[in-house]
């Protein structure tokens, strides 16, 4: 199709394509801990999975003391709060790039079903917070076999 476009107009298409590529490159820059603009917060990445008996939430939160987490469950909304404190600044260092985010964070996750609040467990290992939320008896998935019709 480019062979049908006069040469002078093709240059405009190339400029437009480069601008769109640049726009997409800027859009996808960043990291899982992208800093929110201006308020000193960051957002940890979270996975929510489900088995027959429980929901499992895994959050990447490196550099936080496990005692600094505030985890609560209210009306099937799991809330994780905490703060990653900035390391001591060194006066002799000249930074060329700073990408690690610091500050407080809050994540609220709506769970897909009811959980047994008394049996919730949380573990923190290698920068990953894992929260296991057992389903209530009525929420546990019951497999129903399907018989082939003869």
Average pLDDT, the chain: 80
Report the 10 Å Cβ neighbour count for 105: 21
Q: What is the pLDDT of residues 68-88, one digit of tens each?
A: 899 999 988 999 999 888 766
Would 94 be classed as within a structural domain?
no
Q: Same structural domain for residues 75 and 107?
A: yes
Q: Is the CB of residue 52 less than 8 Å from the CB of residue 140? A: yes
Q: Which of 85, 73, 83 is nearest to 136 (CA)?
A: 73
Would 38 be classed as within a structural domain?
no
Q: Is the CB of residue 57 less than 8 Å from the CB of residue 48? A: yes
What pLDDT is attached to residue 90?
A: 66
Report DSSP state, residue 63.
Answer: T
Contact residues for 111 (Cβ-Cβ < 8 A; gap 6+): 48, 55, 76, 77, 78, 133
Would 91 be classed as within a structural domain?
no
pLDDT > 50? residue 31: no
Q: In what order do the strands lie in the sheet with 103-110?
A: 70-74, 77-84, 103-110
Q: Could you give the C-alpha distances from 77 to 57, 71, 74, 87, 129, in angstroms and in order?
A: 12, 11, 5, 32, 17
Q: What is the pLDDT of residues 34-76, one digit of tens each?
A: 444 444 567 889 999 999 899 999 999 988 888 889 999 998 8
Grouping H, G, I as helix, E, B as strand and the rest as coil, residue 20 is helix
pLDDT confidence bin for 18, thresholds 50/70/90? confident
- Look at the chain and report how many structural domains it folds into: 2
Q: Same structural domain for residues 50 and 25?
A: no
Q: Same structural domain for residues 108 and 63?
A: yes
The domain in which residue 19 lies consists of 1-30
């Amino acid at each position: 199709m480019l062979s049908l476009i006069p040469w002078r107009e093709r240059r405009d298409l190339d400029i437009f394509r480069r601008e769109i590529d640049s726009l997409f490159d800027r859009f996808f820059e960043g990291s899982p801990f992208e800093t929110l603009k201006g308020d000193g917060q960051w957002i940890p990445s979270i996975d929510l999975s489900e088995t027959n008996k429980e929901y499992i939430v895994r959050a990447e939160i490196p550099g936080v003391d496990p005692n600094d987490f505030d985890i609560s469950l209210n009306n099937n909304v799991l809330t994780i709060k905490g703060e990653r404190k900035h390391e001591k600044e060194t006066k002799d260092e000249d930074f060329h790039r700073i990408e690690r985010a610091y500050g407080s964070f809050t994540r609220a996750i709506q769970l897909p079903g009811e959980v047994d609040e008394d049996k919730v467990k949380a573990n923190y290992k290698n920068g990953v917070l894992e929260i296991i939320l057992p389903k209530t008896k009525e929420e546990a998935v019951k497999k129903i076999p399907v018989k082939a019709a003869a």
